[in-house]
Amino acid sequence: MRHTVTPLVLALLAIATTAMADVGKHPRPMALSVRAGKVKVGEEKQTCHPVRSTHRREMHVNRIKMKVRGGSHHVHLYRPYNGALEYPPLDCPFAVDFEKWQLVSATQNPLLDWRLPPGVAIYIGPSQPLLIQTHFVNAGQLETRGRAKAKVMLYPMDPGDVQTHGGAIFAQDRLVNVPPGRVTTKARCALTGEGDEAHDITIMAFTGHYHFRGVVFEVYRVHKDGTLGELVYRHEGYDDPPFVEYPPEDPLVLKAGEGFEWWCTYQNDTTTTFEFGANTQRNEHCNLFGFYYPTATPQEAIACIHKRDEQGNEQNIRLLAQ
């Protein structure tokens, strides 16, 4: 029996081929879901969940939605870099290794729906390994009902519309010390680099993060000469520090050699001194999350760490992850 290919069949084949090409060029949104289970009253869970990009092609993401159910203290999305893939254990009540993982996105609110500025994208490689860290709390000012879970949605843009890539900033003050009473801690980051490596960057968004004793979170520009500049972010109270976006029509640009300083003010009404750590009931945090462009490579992030060296000297480290 002879098979005749009619004009209608040819037309349908052409439509199907075009549709397949469009799917390859414009991948569908990607959903990543993780579950932390139940959290008992008075307890908290911080867990690390290995996930992977479900797309076999690269993605240029210009919208990120993070939806959280339960008493979320934070949800972070990371991608690996710098050598062999090493996942942390499922139970991970600590910061990830910044020399192995770079931040992609973060929230401590029930819902983040962030659209990047036009032309800016976050790059996700084909079938790329990823990591979602969740921290759910059923104590203090947070309550986790039912089963705690989080969902991250990544929405792609047309690769032809990409003008530059964006990166994330994770700034962490590991010298936090909160004695009884009211106290303010300060840390600094040479965000734009130093010397010949310094370059202008545009901040897309900032959001603050601390534990239950935090009452004010502030971020200031630091000029090239080290003097303190204007206030660029401020939040009063503990609940849901806002994810503040700086729109393209009114950009927050840091010039080469500039950086920022982030302050956390605490009110400690107990007789206990709280030091740096992940547990909301026994420790405190002073973390800043930011997002910027342009990056030098498609996948780039910056970690800023305030800590002491082996000799006990205070230092501010800027770690460029590429």
Return mean pLDDT, the chain. Answer: 91
Q: How far apart, in whole angstroms, are the C-alpha atoms of residue 47 and residue 142?
A: 17
Q: How far apart, in whole angstroms, are the C-alpha atoms of residue 18 and residue 12?
A: 10
Q: Residues 134, 280: one domain?
A: no
The residue assigned the tokens 């004695």 is 179
Q: Residues 193, 261: one domain?
A: yes
pLDDT on residue 289: 98
Cα angle, residue 192 at apex, residues 220 and 226 outer, rounded to 5° = 50
Mean pLDDT, rounded, for 188-213: 96
How many independent structural domains does the chain possess? 2
pLDDT bracket for residue 161 (50, 70, 90)? very high
* Residue that finishes a domain, picked among 138, 165, 192: 165
| CATH number of 218's domain | 2.60.120.230
Q: Residues 183, 300: one domain?
A: yes
Q: Residues 149, 242: one domain?
A: no
Q: Residues 161, 175: one domain?
A: no
C-alpha neighbours within 13 Å on the C-beta side of residue 283 = 14
Q: What is the pTM of this model?
A: 0.90
Host domain of residue 142: 29-165
Q: Residues 183, 313: one domain?
A: yes
Q: Residues 250, 173: one domain?
A: yes
Does residue 10 lie in a domain region? Answer: no
Does residue 3 lie in a domain region? Answer: no
* Residue that finishes a domain, picked among 142, 165, 188: 165
Mean pLDDT, rounded, for 122-127: 98
pLDDT tens readout for residues 53-112? 999 999 999 999 999 988 778 999 999 999 999 999 999 999 999 999 999 999 988 999
pLDDT on residue 26: 59
Does residue 23 lie in a domain region? Answer: no
Asked if 155 and 63 touch (Cβ cutoff 8 Å), the reply is yes
Tell me the percentage of the chain whose pLDDT exceeds 90.
84
* Residue that finishes a domain, picked among 117, 141, 165: 165
Q: Residues 63, 117: one domain?
A: yes
Q: Check pLDDT > 70 for residue 24.
A: no
Does residue 249 lie in a domain region? Answer: yes
Q: Residues 316, 178: one domain?
A: yes
Does residue 191 lie in a domain region? Answer: yes
pLDDT on residue 25: 52
Q: Residues 105, 173: one domain?
A: no
Residues 179-203 as b/e (b if ≥16 CB within 10 A, e otherwise) read: eeeebebbbbbbbbbeeeebeebbb
Q: Residues 144, 185: one domain?
A: no
pLDDT bracket for residue 141 (50, 70, 90)? confident
Q: Residues 202, 298: one domain?
A: yes
Does residue 18 lie in a domain region? Answer: no
